[in-house]
Amino acid sequence: MQVHEAIEKVVTPELTIRNPVFRSFALTAGVLGLKMVANNLVVQTLRNMTNNFAYAEDRALFPAFWNALSGGNYTRRTKPEDKPTLPQQSELIPRLNAAAINDAVNVPIFLLLSFTWILVAKPSEETAAKVFGTFVASRLVHVFSFVARVQPFRVLSYLTGAGATGYVAGCLLKAVYYNS
């Protein structure tokens, strides 16, 4: 018995990768999740490179951690002039953190509404792909325009993502209202 066959016996067919709409949803969730993880890894890397930690216990832990990994070759930078210079160093970490918070607010809502939309409204493959692609593109443009300090692209990408979320919510409510 194939894994797909076993899953289909337990899970409704709408929630398998054989459903092109659910496949688009799964791809969307994966890309957005990877983007959010990458954002956090970039922030942590910048913090390590600049010895710019948010909390004193992190400043104490990470040199010890890196010494353990490097066999004692890590030297803690204590003087400001010893820190490597990064463009907009003082502003980059807070901007990436703000983008991560914005993702933490918007992405889960979109994914939850989209999952429910797939189950209740059963959108066409084309419509779902367009909505999911629009949302993913808007989130990618949003984080890049946030870091690069580019307006009006940041607000336009945010509004595009909010529009995609609103569209999904509207379709979901319409399906619930007309099918009850």
Q: Please determine, for residue 157, whether its predicted confidence score (pLDDT) is greater than 70.
A: yes
Q: Please, what is the Cα angle at 72 between 67 and 74, to 5 degrees? A: 60
Question: How far is 15 from 48, CA to CA, in rounded Å?
Answer: 41
Q: Please determine, for residue 81, whether its predicted confidence score (pLDDT) is greater than 90.
A: no
Question: How far is 157 from 135, CA to CA, in rounded Å?
Answer: 9
Mean pLDDT to the nearest integer, 55-62: 72
Mean pLDDT to the nearest integer, 62-87: 56
Q: Are 24 and 129 in contact (CB under 8 A)?
A: yes
Q: Are 92 and 47 in contact (CB under 8 A)?
A: no
Q: Please determine, for residue 38, whether its predicted confidence score (pLDDT) is greater than 60.
A: yes
Other CB atoms within a 10 A radius of the CB of residue 94 amount to: 10
Residues found in the chain: 180
Least confident of 20-24, 35-39, 87-91, 174-178: 87-91
The torsion angles phi and psi of 148, rounded to 5 degrees, stand at -85, -5
Q: Please determine, for residue 163, whether its predicted confidence score (pLDDT) is greater than 90.
A: yes
Domain 17-49+88-178: CATH architecture, name and number where available: Up-down Bundle (1.20)
Q: Are 43 and 97 in contact (CB under 8 A)?
A: yes
Q: Are 95 and 146 in contact (CB under 8 A)?
A: yes
Of 106, 99, 107, 104, residue with least CA distance to 142: 99
Determine which helix (DSSP H) or strand (DSSP E) holds 159, and give its type and residue range: helix 153-178
More confidently predicted of 52 and 27: 27
Mean pLDDT to the nearest integer, 57-70: 66
Grouping H, G, I as helix, E, B as strand and the rest as coil, residue 18 is coil
Question: How far is 144 from 135, CA to CA, in rounded Å?
Answer: 14
Q: Please determine, for residue 140, whether its predicted confidence score (pLDDT) is greater than 60.
A: yes
pLDDT of residue 170: 97
Give per-residue pLDDT as tens, 3-33. 556 555 555 667 777 889 999 999 999 999 9
